[in-house]
């Protein structure tokens, strides 16, 4: 018998994760983005990553049409950006006060994130309530800063010793 939903949620809250905004641009849906924590590297050669997107998320439709997406890892001081892209607001509102630049694929790269990966889709697998989308990284941009983390249902930050900072 599989573990129950509540027990699974409780267990997964023990996993500290970086906070990312996945973005895309398509002709039919325009600019789209959403906050995700389900992101991972897949392969070094060729460089590939995966993101998991709920099948009910409207951003998934834009990713399907455009066949590209960007993963933007948020800085420690970007909780407001995470909340803005987490839902409850229109796609237009999500991008309103968030500077971005179009990547090679056309996907929006958030200018103030610590990292952006511009990807084209190579595979998409349906798993439970989500789509697992694997992308081949076309370009990467790294910027200074510390990551925003999510752990036990709350935002967290690294405690960086003064000699390292």
Comparing 156 with 101, the larger pLDDT belongs to 101
What pLDDT is recorded for position 8? 84
Residue 3: pLDDT over 90: no
What pLDDT is recorded for position 66? 97
Q: Please, what is the Cα angle at 146 between 110 and 109, to 5 degrees?
A: 10
Classified as helix, coil or strand, 107 is coil
| pLDDT mean across residues, the chain | 93
**162: confidence class by pLDDT, cuts 50, 70, 90:** low
What pLDDT is recorded for position 23? 98
Q: Determine the straight-line distance between the first and last CA of the chain, rounded to whole angstroms.
A: 47
Judged by average pLDDT, the poorest of 44-48, 107-111, 140-144, 148-152 is: 148-152
**18: confidence class by pLDDT, cuts 50, 70, 90:** very high
Please state which of the four CATH numbers 3.20.20.10, 2.30.110.10, 3.40.50.300, 3.40.640.10 is assigned to the domain occupying 19-157: 2.30.110.10
Asked whether the beta carbons of 72 and 23 are under 8 A apart, the reply is yes
Tell me the torsion sign for CA atoms 73, 77, 82, 84: negative
Q: Residue 79: enclosing H or E segment and its boundaries?
A: helix 79-85
pLDDT tens-digit map of 61-96: 999 999 999 999 999 999 999 999 998 888 989 999
What pLDDT is recorded for position 16? 84
| Mean pLDDT confidence for 35-47 | 95
Beta bridge partners of 142: 115
Asked whether the beta carbons of 78 and 21 are under 8 A apart, the reply is no
Residue indicated by tokens 């839902």: 87
**Which residues, including other chains, have CB under 8 Å from residue 73's CB and lie 6 or more apart?**
18, 19, 20, 113, 114, 115, 116, 147
Residue indicated by tokens 């050669």: 45
What pLDDT is recorded for position 161? 67
What pLDDT is recorded for position 157? 86
Residue 53: pLDDT over 60: yes
């Amino acid at each position: 018998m599989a573990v129950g939903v509540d027990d699974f949620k409780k267990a997964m809250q023990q996993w500290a994760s970086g906070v990312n905004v996945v973005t895309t641009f398509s002709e039919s849906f325009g600019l789209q983005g959403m906050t995700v924590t389900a992101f991972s590297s897949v392969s070094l050669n060729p460089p590939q990553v995966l993101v998991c997107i709920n099948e009910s998320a409207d951003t998934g439709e834009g990713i399907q049409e455009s066949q590209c997406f960007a993963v933007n890892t948020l800085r420690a001081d970007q909780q407001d950006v995470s909340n803005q892209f987490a839902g409850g607001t229109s796609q237009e509102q999500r991008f309103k006060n968030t500077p971005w630049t179009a990547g090679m694929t056309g996907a929006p790269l958030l200018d103030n994130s610590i990292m952006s990966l511009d990807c084209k889709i190579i595979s998409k697998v349906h798993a439970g309530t989500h789509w697992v989308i694997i992308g081949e990284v076309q370009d990467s941009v790294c910027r200074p800063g510390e990551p925003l983390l999510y752990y036990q249902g709350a935002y967290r930050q690294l405690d960086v010793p003064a000699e390292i900072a």
